[in-house]
Amino acid sequence: MGNKRNNKTRKLKTAYKSWGFGKYPFVPRIKYRAMRILDNLGKLEDYPKSDLKKNVKEELIRRIQYILKKKKSTKRVFKNVTRKKYNKKTKLNKLSDKKLDQLYNSILEHSRK
């Protein structure tokens, strides 16, 4: 028996749209709105349970994970806020909305200094 090749096409994680000069990544409106809410320092608690709140929470978790991965000094801020040690396996979606907001704001304050 020889090696079998898998000819399935791979799905792109990011959807792209065509334009006159090429392609650009397409972001759905609700995800774009969630990004803008966090850019303007909106709180997660301000929104009722809906798709928008779910997308804001996903974006918030994504941003926190990215910052914790890139900056080693933010792990100390994580430990001060949550009273837990951070590693790759830490589940941020188990934290409450209030803790996530508090963590994100404290990380931003730490990075401004």
pLDDT tens-place string over residues 2-48:
566 666 666 657 788 888 888 988 889 999 999 999 999 999 888 88
Instruction: Measure the CA–CA gap between 29 and 26, rounded to whole angstroms.
Output: 9
pLDDT given for residue 19 in this prediction: 85
pLDDT in tens, 75-91: 999 999 999 999 888 89
Taking the complete model, does pTM exceed 0.75, yes or no? yes
Instruction: Measure the CA–CA gap between 58 and 41, rounded to whole angstroms.
Output: 15
pLDDT given for residue 3 in this prediction: 66
pLDDT given for residue 31 in this prediction: 92
Instruction: Measure the CA–CA gap between 99 and 25, rounded to whole angstroms.
Output: 32
